Amino acid sequence: MSKSVGNVFSPYDIVAEYGADALRYFLLREVSSFEDSPFTIERFKNAYNSGLANGLGNLVSRIMTMAENYGVSHIGSIITNNEDTDLNSFDIKKYMDKIWLKIEDIDKKIQKTEPYKLFKTDEEMARGIVSELCTDLSVVATLLIPALPETANKILTYLKQSKKPAEPLFLRKD
């Protein structure tokens, strides 16, 4: 990066447009803690759209829409072991990758069980699945607290209220 070449980006501008957690996400998941990593606005947007807008944001919207539409309440909080070897050894990228694997697993669970279809034939079973999905989402939110605190707190608030987000957690940016 060089000011004379014109490829320097202000973190303040990125935070103003995307939010602090979006920048945290990129730095923690896409940038190595131990070696140089390239930065371009295109790379940032791709990571933002795939990981946050289409990934986590879409998952939160899907689960919370089902919870609200079908009257499923998330009761209680999830206690997870805060001792994580990757987090403690500052391998934050690996820690974040593990969280995103959980997000992918939850998404696969939705695709496999199709609770939105099951509500037509077995409402009780569908409610149970959506309740499990809310619990899974609570685990993800709790794991995100050290990395994406604003996002984690928003998700936990949605779960407490059993309400879908009024607006997307992360707006897709093109």
DSSP secondary structure string, 65-94?
HHHHHTTPPP-S--------HHHHTT-HHH
Domain count for the chain: 1
Give the side-chain half-sphere CA count within 13 A for 45.
Answer: 7
- Residue span of the structural domain in which 51 resides: 11-161
Residue 2 included in any domain: no
Q: Diameter of the chain by CA atoms?
A: 64
Residue 135 included in any domain: yes
Residue 78 included in any domain: yes
Region of 170 (left: φ > 0; alpha: ψ -120 to 50; beta: rest) is beta
Residue in the block written with tokens 């001792």 = 83
Q: What's the pLDDT at 81?
A: 58
Residue 4: strand, helix, or coil? coil
Residue 172 included in any domain: no
Q: Which two tokens stand for residue 156?
A: 């936990």
pLDDT in tens, the chain (174 residues): 444 545 577 889 999 999 999 999 999 998 876 777 778 889 999 999 999 999 999 999 999 999 999 988 876 555 555 567 877 677 788 899 999 999 999 999 999 999 999 999 999 999 999 999 999 999 999 999 999 999 999 999 999 999 999 999 999 988
Residue 28 included in any domain: yes
Residue 166 included in any domain: no
Q: Which CATH number goes with the domain that contains 48?
A: 1.10.730.10
Residue 5 included in any domain: no
Residue 171 included in any domain: no
User: How far lies 95's CA from each of 31, 78, 87, in Å?
Assistant: 13, 19, 6
Q: Which two tokens stand for residue 51?
A: 């990981």
